[in-house]
Amino acid sequence: MYNLLKGKKGIIFGALNQKSIAWKTAERAHEEGAEFVLTNAPASIRMGNLDDLAKKTGSQIIPADATSVEDLENLVEKSMEILGGKIDFVLHSIGMSVNVRKKNPYTDPNYDYTKKGWDVSAVSFHKLLNVLYHKNAMKEWGSIVALTYMAAQRVFPDYNDMADNKAYLESIARSFGYFFGRDHKVRVNTISQSPTATTAGNGVKGFDGFINYSEKMSPLGNASALECADYTITLFSDLTKKVTLQNLFHDGGFSNMGVSTAVMEKFE
């Protein structure tokens, strides 16, 4: 370990179980010397094993509905009380599509479900940034990271309306990131991760086939949840103080590939 986050304090959204990128990030942040608060929606906390992670990392859990500004205000205020001051880093690892869960195709969605997924997956990030900004809760040179996926730029048919949500999320990071950087010297970035076998990822139709395809397309292979956690730690650290407004691809090179020899061999 490198003590990259020694003395830093943060909030980590979205850890559910040991497969979660947020879970791995919390473990790595703890190993690198950080203190943090864990948060998730009350229903997700009941479904997952967050108590185990809290015990392992010496963290407290504050339930919060990320679509509720009131819940977010309470979360930020209590986190600063628990941590003894302003916040150095925040991870937004939240995504949900009711249309995907209900197997509604992109061409025939339930628009109430669409709105719910958009609010949870993307608008929640704007609400979070807004609360942190107006409460002046972030330390100078702090870092805020949200997780995204390349379906924001390219067509992956079965990713459904989550592709739209991720595109909106990335736009929020750039737009709000400008104001956060200008006014508070805080970084805001998104990480576009390889397809990863998390609970959420496994809910996408055809996921097994796609993760295998991505593995063969990427010159370095798919990035794991733990490797994403490592990358996230670097963005929380002081080593990346001038990196902001970026969508950073962490995908083994997949995002710049047209075709690989391994894939071509399947068609020759």
φ and ψ of 226, to 5 deg: -65, -40
Residue 11 binned pLDDT confidence (cut-offs 50, 70, 90)? very high
Amino acid 190: pLDDT: 98
The beta strands (E) that lie in 201-267 are given as: 247-250
Mean of the per-residue pLDDT values of the chain: 95
State the pTM of this model.
Answer: 0.96
Q: Which two tokens stand for residue 60?
A: 């407290």
Task: Give the three-class secondary structure for 25.
Answer: helix
Q: How far is CA 76 from the centre of its chain?
A: 18
Rounding to the nearest 10 degrees, give the CA dihedral for residues 50, 54, 55, 56. 100
SS3 state of residue 142 = strand
Considering only the C-alpha atoms of the chain, give the largest distance between any 2 of them, rounded to a whole number of Å. Answer: 62
Q: What is the mean pLDDT of residues 231-246?
A: 98
- How confident is the model over 226-233, as a mean pLDDT? 98
User: Is residue 178 pLDDT above 90, yes or no?
Assistant: yes
Beta-strand ranges (E) seen in the chain are: 9-13, 35-39, 60-61, 87-92, 138-148, 187-193, 247-250
- Check whether 77 has a pLDDT greater than 70: yes
Residue 170, both tokens = 């990335």
Q: What is the pLDDT of residue 202?
A: 59
Residue 198 has what pLDDT?
73
According to the model, what pLDDT value does residue 160 have? 96
Question: pLDDT of 139-168, one tens digit each?
Answer: 999 999 999 999 999 999 999 999 999 999
Q: How far apart are alpha carbons 188 and 75 in whole angstroms?
A: 19
Mean pLDDT on 71-83: 98
Minimum mean pLDDT range among 165-169, 220-224, 264-268: 264-268
> Could you give the angle at which helices 111-118 and 162-184 cross, rounded to 10 degrees?
30
Strand duo 247-250 + 9-13: pairing:
unpaired
At 255, the pLDDT band (50, 70, 90 cuts) reads very high
